[in-house]
């Protein structure tokens, strides 16, 4: 049995994955601050941990935003609720 799924336009305009990428940027900045404080305080284990979290969060966010922008043709941070974009969406994805 097959199910037919029609993609629908999110009412607020932001893609849910874009919101996740934005959240990862915020996590990256928070862990960056803790990383700097840990380095200054001489806490090596904490500095390494926060450094890894910082790099992982920023890298994952950058890759997500790049994929969304290039492959999905959807801005991860800007809504696309303009009439032109809605018409483009209907032409491309609704048959």
Distances (CA, A) of 63 to 17, 26, 60, 69, 95: 11, 15, 5, 10, 30
- For residue 80, what are the contacts with CB-CB under 8 A and spacing of at least 6? 13, 74, 86, 89
**Between 77 and 43, residue with greater pLDDT:** 43
Domain-by-domain residue ranges, the chain? Answer: 16-93
Confidence check: pLDDT of 3 > 70: no
Chain centroid, CA 49 distance in Å: 22
Confidence check: pLDDT of 47 > 50: yes
* pLDDT of the residue at 36: 96
pLDDT tens-place string over residues 36-45: 999 999 999 9
Binned at pLDDT 50, 70 and 90, residue 95 comes out as low
Confidence check: pLDDT of 71 > 50: yes
- For residue 10, what are the contacts with CB-CB under 8 A and spacing of at least 6? 16
């Amino acid at each position: 049995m097959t199910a037919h799924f029609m993609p629908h336009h999110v009412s607020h305009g932001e893609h849910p994955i874009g919101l996740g990428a934005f959240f990862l940027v915020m996590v990256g900045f928070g862990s960056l601050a803790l990383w700097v404080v840990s380095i200054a305080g001489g806490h090596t284990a904490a500095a390494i941990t926060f450094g890894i979290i910082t790099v992982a969060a920023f890298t994952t966010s950058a890759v997500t935003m790049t994929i969304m922008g290039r492959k999905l043709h959807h801005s991860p941070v800007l809504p696309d609720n303009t009439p032109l974009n809605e018409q483009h969406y209907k032409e491309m994805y609704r048959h």
